[in-house]
């Protein structure tokens, strides 16, 4: 074979159908990676597998900046991957104002009961990227590395996702405090019950203005989602430090599910009361899947654009993108529920995914930062009385000053123990 023939052979790409089959097979293995080893298996409901539809959404061609990923270190630095994810997400089509249909039917499952991702859920074909987005240890951060979620939170919002003006929250006084002095992140958060009833409503999550030291603002954005929980449970009580920036943040509910949509992905917060219901002895995999699917379906059916500040409508449109994957998401969470439950450290669990691969939810613990102790009041020596000999107060030993965590700076996320989830062979 000539050198020219060899060169041509190296650059021939697989056919589109081969690319689709390869990507689907890789996503089929996602549940197996996160599924904990257990002697007792609970299999989700087996449905009759239907032929895979051919009407796939077209794969997104990776931008030129992303091509260098294959030549990077293995694994790459979280901020490096975040930069490439930003470039890829920016290249995705702008969400339509018409919501896609909500599909609640359980997905097909393989012989092991593992849910098979629905057509159109995989918008990329890069095998290394797919593998990284399914790696819970890498995405959550381990071995002293920050998480990819932190790196994404720290990045600037793409221009087409930035809030413009009029971002006042419905039901709150307009223009308070000074909107020009408050930094926003362009995300949106809703709360809704796990088991909605006739009187239930979708609510916009409460927001709060916090003061972040200017020198720590970048650190704040890196771990902002963890800090939100500390506000909710009342751990932040000290006055703000000088030279601060006002930042508007969403506060997740401590009793209901909170759904947060960002420019790069979404999060499902499951607080302790929600975890308790799903962990009940009666909650088998079938019931967990049905409960989560029903709650998410109800949420998407009842959330309205009129609830959303005009500037946050771009984020609202992203929420609607999950409609076609509701049935899969509920079954998938039930399939990995042993792992989800194992992540809970007392404050609940958050499930996170990117818009590049919205069906790959990665669980992690909601871990609030430690509460800060107020400094003891300074004591002054009592002046001597008139006519009495002057005495020198006994010397006191002042401990060396220690650097405390700033009031509104979240603690770093602890790495997930490698033994929690077995690696895929």
Strands (E), 193-343: 203-204, 206-213, 244-251, 257-261, 265-270
Half-sphere exposure of 329 (CA within 13 A, CB side): 29
Q: How far apart are CA 275 and CA 139, in angstroms?
A: 23
pLDDT in tens, 141-196: 876 778 999 999 888 887 655 554 444 444 444 444 444 455 566 789 999 999 99
Give how far the C-alpha of residue 276 lies from the chain's centroid of Cα atoms, to the nearest Å: 21
Contact 263, 315 (CB under 8 A): yes
Cβ count near 113 (within 10 Å)? 17
**pLDDT, position 408:** 38
In order of 210, 220, 234, 306, 370, the CA distances from 408 in angstroms are 7, 8, 12, 32, 11
Token pair belonging to 215 = 């020198």
For residue 377, count CB atoms less than 10 angstroms from its CB and return exposed for 0-12, middle for 13-18, buried for 19 or more. Answer: exposed
DSSP, res 207: E
Q: What is the model's pLDDT at position 68?
A: 44
Percent of the chain topping pLDDT 90:
28
Q: What is the Cα 326 distance to its own chain's centre?
A: 17
pTM of the model: 0.66
The mean-pLDDT minimum among 113-117, 216-220, 301-305 falls in 216-220
| pLDDT tens per residue across span 363-382 | 999 876 444 444 445 555 55
The more confident residue out of 48 and 313 is: 313
| Token output for 125 | 């074909």
């Amino acid at each position: 074979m000539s050198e020219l023939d060899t060169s041509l052979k190296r650059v021939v790409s697989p056919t589109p159908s081969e690319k689709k089959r390869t990507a689907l097979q890789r996503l089929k293995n996602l549940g197996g990676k996160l599924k904990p080893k257990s002697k007792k298996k609970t299999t989700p409901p087996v449905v009759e597998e239907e032929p895979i539809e051919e009407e796939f959404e077209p794969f997104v061609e990776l931008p030129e900046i992303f091509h260098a990923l294959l030549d990077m270190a293995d694994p790459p630095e979280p901020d490096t991957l975040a930069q490439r994810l930003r470039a890829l997400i920016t290249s995705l089509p702008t969400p339509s104002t018409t919501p896609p249909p909500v599909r609640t039917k359980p997905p097909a499952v393989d012989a092991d009961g593992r849910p098979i991702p629905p057509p159109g859920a995989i918008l990329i074909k890069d095998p290394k990227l797919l593998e990284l987005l399914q790696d819970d240890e890498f995405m959550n951060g381990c071995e002293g590395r920050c998480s990819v979620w932190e790196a994404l939170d720290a990045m600037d919002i793409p221009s087409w996702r930035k809030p413009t003006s009029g971002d006042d929250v419905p039901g709150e006084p307009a223009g308070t405090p000074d909107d020009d002095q408050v930094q926003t992140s362009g995300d949106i958060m809703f709360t809704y019950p796990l088991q909605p009833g006739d009187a239930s409503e979708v609510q916009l999550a409460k927001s709060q203005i916090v003061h972040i030291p200017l020198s720590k603002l970048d650190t704040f954005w890196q771990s902002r989602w963890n800090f939100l929980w500390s506000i909710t449970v009342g751990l932040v009580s000290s006055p703000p430090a000088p030279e601060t920036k006002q930042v508007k943040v969403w506060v997740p509910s401590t009793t209901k599910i909170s759904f947060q949509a960002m420019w790069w992905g979404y999060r499902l917060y499951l607080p302790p009361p929600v975890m308790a219901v799903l962990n009940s002895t009666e909650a088998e995999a079938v019931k967990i899947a049905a409960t989560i699917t029903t709650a998410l379906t109800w949420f998407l059916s009842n959330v309205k654009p009129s609830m959303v500040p005009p500037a946050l409508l771009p984020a609202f449109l992203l929420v609607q993108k999950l409609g076609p994957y509701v049935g899969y998401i509920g079954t998938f969470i039930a399939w990995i529920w042993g792992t989800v439950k194992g992540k809970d450290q007392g404050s609940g669990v958050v499930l996170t995914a990117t818009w590049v691969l919205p069906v790959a939810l990665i669980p992690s613990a909601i871990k609030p930062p430690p509460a800060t102790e107020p400094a003891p009041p300074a004591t002054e020596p009592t002046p001597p009385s008139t006519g009495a000999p002057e005495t020198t107060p006994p010397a006191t030993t002042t401990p060396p000053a220690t650097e405390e965590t700033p009031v509104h700076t979240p603690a770093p996320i602890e790495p997930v123990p490698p033994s929690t989830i077995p690696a895929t062979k």
